[in-house]
Amino acid sequence: MNAALIGLSSSLITILIFSILKRFDKSTIYGLILMGIAFLYIGYTWTNITIASVSFLQALFFLPFAYFGIKNSLYFLVAGYFLHGIWDLVYPFFGSPDLLPPDYDYFCLTYDFIVAIYLFLINYKTSPISN
């Protein structure tokens, strides 16, 4: 439960900081964060080459979401964060949860889903489709 609360507060603090710092491009910031959280798995799993390889493939999977989210539409970032939250849920079936920090899945999936919802709402509110 603490991990989910930390994930919630971390996502809200991230959103608040980059809402205040309007000079930063939201798509670039959130694309970079998405890639950072994807590549964290490699750093956590480097001691097991098989699991690290799966983690590397996972990071490569999220690369186009970050790239197209930065270049084209925040909806790619919404999908990327949502799918990364799903990855956090299914990771124990593909990886080794004992290589991750305790309760990392709860922290990360909470962070991912909150950011995905936020990006969806700000993109929906400002897109011509919603008007």
Q: Over the stretch 51-102, which tens digit does the pLDDT of each residue have? A: 999 999 999 999 999 999 999 999 999 999 999 999 999 999 888 999 999 9
Residue 48: CA count within 13 A, CB half-sphere: 14
Confidence (pTM):
0.89
pLDDT, one tens digit per residue, over 3-47 is 888 889 999 999 898 888 888 899 999 999 999 999 999 999 999
User: For residue 116, what pLDDT is reported?
Assistant: 97
Question: CA nearest 123: which of 78, 71, 63?
Answer: 78
Q: Contacts by 13-22 with C-beta closer than 8 Å and gap 24+?
A: 14/111, 14/115, 15/114, 15/115, 15/118
**Contact between 42 and 56 (Cβ < 8 Å):** yes
Q: How many CB atoms lie within 10 A of CB 94?
A: 12
**What integer pLDDT is reported at residue 130 of this predicted model?**
45
